[in-house]
Structure formats: structure tokens, C-alpha cells
Homo-oligomer: A and B are copies of this chain.
Amino acid sequence: MEDQTQREQASPEVQARIRDSFERQGLMRLLGAQLAHIALGRVHIVLPSRPEVTQQHGYFHAGATSAIADTAGGYAGFTLFPEDTAVLTVEYKINLLAPAEGDHIEAVGTVLKSGRTLTVCRLEVFGVQGSRRTLVATGQQTLICVDARPEQ
């Protein structure tokens, strides 16, 4: 498993491009979310538990769950985009399967179909408590690849 993960790791250039973009996301910093893994076509984002990201019953807020799921999917698609492009979320749909709790939650965005214009990702979020890992949300997302060359 470790080996496979290593093999599929995105190139240093792609990783740098994504880390750089991630750091410009004020919301990810505000939430305390962290990029945990960047593979080609798959990105993991982790969000540690703290009162600031909860809903009224003390679980992770669906908005926080969705925010890191959407971001993981967006960057998963972005790993496969050509240079001088940017990624925008067209839409996503997410089912909240179980109360999101644990030491942290981990979102995994995985490209299902990568096209020239549109990319479709699967979104999964797990609640992680020690070695226990529970699927708390699952979704599907459509991304669009747009030109990001500076205007001349």
C-alpha cells in the first residue's frame, strides 16, 4: 500500500502548485485544514476536531465536512490539468451518512473521469478516532478546467 502510494505521488511541480494554491485559501486556514496527501487524481485533506468547526450537537458541521470534501475533489482534478489552467467547482452533491466525529475527519477526493473541459470526482469523508475509520459522507462533484494564462 505504502509503495503504491509512493508510486502514484504527484510530481514535485504539481505538489508545489497545489500547496501554493491551498495556502491562498483563507477558509482552509480558518478551519485549520491541512493537505495530507497529493497523488495524481487523488487528494486527501485532514481537519482536526475543535469546537470552532462544530454544529449545534457538537459534531463536525456539514459545512466543514463539505468544505474539505469539495476542496479535496477540486485539487484531485487539478493534479491532472495542464499548466496555465485553473479549476472551478461546477457543482457537487453530498450525502451525510453518519454524525461526523473523531480526532479528525479526512476528506478524499478521487477523479472518476477526467475530460478536457469537465472532470468528475468522487468525494468521501471519514471520521477518524485512533485506528477506527468511519465513512461519514460521500459525494460526487463536477469540475471545470478554465484558462488561467495572464491576459496580454
**Contact indicator A53/B27 (Cβ below 8 Å):** yes
Q: Residue of B at shortest CB range from A54?
A: B26
Interface residue range, chain A:
35 or more
Q: Residue of B at shortest CB range from A69?
A: B63
Cβ of A5 within 8 Å of any chain B Cβ, yes or no, is: no
Cβ of A36 within 8 Å of any chain B Cβ, yes or no, is: no
The distance in angstroms between the C-alpha atoms of A26 and B138, with both chains bound, is 23
Would A93 and B140 be within 8 Å (CB), given that A66-B63, A113-B135 are in contact?
yes
Cβ of A70 within 8 Å of any chain B Cβ, yes or no, is: yes
Interface digits, A71-96 against B, CB 8 Å rule (1 contact, 0 not)? 10000000000000010111111111
Contacts of A54 in B (CB 8 A): 25-27
Cβ of A16 within 8 Å of any chain B Cβ, yes or no, is: no
Q: Residue of B at shortest CB range from A141?
A: B95
Contacts of A113 in B (CB 8 A): 95, 97-98, 135, 138
Interface digits, A44-63 against B, CB 8 Å rule (1 contact, 0 not)? 00000011111111000111
The distance in angstroms between the C-alpha atoms of A31 and B56, with both chains bound, is 15
**Contact indicator A63/B95 (Cβ below 8 Å):** no
**Contact indicator A97/B70 (Cβ below 8 Å):** no
Contacts of A140 in B (CB 8 A): 91, 93, 95, 138-140
**Contact indicator A142/B53 (Cβ below 8 Å):** no
**Residue among A57, A88, A95 having the largest count of chain B Cβ atoms under 10 Å:** A95
